[in-house]
Amino acid sequence: MKYEDFQRIEERAFYALFALFGVVVLLGAGAWHYMEEHGHVVTGMSNQVVWGIPHVFAIFLIVAASGVLNVASIGSVFGKTLYKARAPLSGMLALAMLGGGLAVLMLDLGRSDRIIIASTYFNPTSVFAWNVILYSGFFGIVAAYLVSMMAPRMKAYSKYIGLAAFIWRVILTTGTGSIFGFLVARQAYDSALLAPMFIVMSFSYGLAVFILVQSTMYSWNGLMLDAAIRRRMKNLLAIFVSAVLYFTLVYHMTNLYFAKQTDFERFILLDGGIYTSLFWFGQVIVGSLIPLAILFHPQLSSRCSAVVVASVLIIFGAFCQLYVFIIGAQAFPLNLFPGMEATSSFFDGRMPHPYTPSLPEVLLGLGGIGVAGLITMVAVRAFQFMPRDDYDQTVKAEIAPE
């Protein structure tokens, strides 16, 4: 195939995907308008389940945005040359995904105009208010980090700004995990484990997204990622997925140790219906064990397509994990009066609280992914975000077979 023919195909693929993301964003905006006009009664949410499927999308995008920046941090903070070439793409993806996640979060509030109040009146006792500062600071620091990496005059400051971005992203993910960790009104939350658990989750989600985007960019440009680089990245991804599994095990083992958490753990692990199925089949088997088998398999892991499949499965498992964690925790009724049966018109004590995602909710969540996709495509088209590896002796030594 001639280069001109390949370029035309790539051009058509770009505009086709751009149009697809655009339609998804428009559908998401339409869903938000529909819910804004009719109220949350048209959703599957209720007085018991107040955070629905849009929050699953939003938290995934926010957590993955923090984790995808880890690629840049490995290069700038820890001096790994092969990751330095991927730092600009990493920073751009972080901004795009955080923008998409916050868009969903803001539009799912019910009264989106009230975000002005949250921005102008700071409540120092609220972890939600802390996150407004953390998100804004993340945008500013990562934007400065991108400028320092791409502007020749600013390269001298890149390492220092990269260190600040690394520290800030850890604080940001800690803040996101603390939103749940500080909530005492749900038995699944209120745990000091959630902050470090969210940090590890961000590593896994972010790297999986990065590998998926990088592979797409290489494929569209007719390039092949070096096998040694792919081996390093897939090994790192396997470590992160294993760490998420470890923290999940510790989290549930810790809950099982306390008698007051036994009923909740039985609900999630055995009797929770869709939540139990999503936990075991979605998160553990499809989202963790199968990707680990692929990533550690000597032959499969040497294929770019297999690593991409593993990344897609990890992302699928991430959505399952967040669905169980966010919605399953709300579906389990609070034990307001231990040893007593509570009944009222508000379903107190009902097991479990019902929730079925509505179409507008799903479209709003997908709209956040569309926003992140549009930002990514425009940025990649306008600037040089394609990783450019310099295969000199130093890099070859660094990525040599272990």
CA distance 359 to 365: 10
Number of domains in the chain: 1
Q: In this structure, is residue 394 part of a structural domain?
A: no
The span from the CA of 187 to the CA of 175, in Å, is: 19
CB 355, CB 16: distance < 8 Å: no
Name 199's Cβ contacts closer than 8 Å, sequence gap at least 6.
170, 173, 174, 177
Q: Give the pLDDT of residue 373.
A: 93
Confirm whether 397 is domain-assigned: no
pTM over 0.95: no
Q: What share of the chain is helix, strand, coil (3-state, %, to 5)?
A: 75, 0, 25
Q: Indicate whether 52 belongs to any domain.
A: yes
Residue 395, domain member (yes or no): no
**Mean pLDDT value across the chain:** 84
- Residues lower than pLDDT 50 in the chain: 393-395, 397, 399, 402
Question: Does 212 map to a domain?
Answer: yes
CA gap 365, 100 in Å, rounded: 9
- Give the whole-angstrom CA distance, residue 107 versus residue 55: 10
The residue whose two tokens read 């001298």 is 156
Q: Is residue 54 part of a domain?
A: yes
By the 8 A CB rule, do 180 and 189 touch? Answer: yes
Residue-level pLDDT at 402: 45
Domain residues for 286? 12-384
- 3-state class (DSSP) for residue 77: coil
Quote the CA–CA distance of 291 and 300 in Å, as a whole number.
11
Residue at 364 is within a domain:
yes
> What is the per-residue pLDDT across 136-182, written as a single tens digit (0 to 9) for each?
899 999 999 988 888 878 877 888 888 898 999 999 898 888 888 77
Residues 6+ apart with CB under 8 A from 60: 101, 205, 318, 319, 322
Local structure of residue 1 (DSSP, 8 states):
-
Alpha-carbon gap, residue 257 to 255, rounded angstroms: 5
CATH code of residue 341: 1.20.1630.10
Question: Please, which residues have CB within 8 angstroms of residue 4's CB and are 6 or more apart in sequence?
Answer: none
358, 46 contact by CB (below 8 A): no
CA distance 296 to 338: 47
**Domain contains 225:** yes
Residue with tokens 């790994």: 80
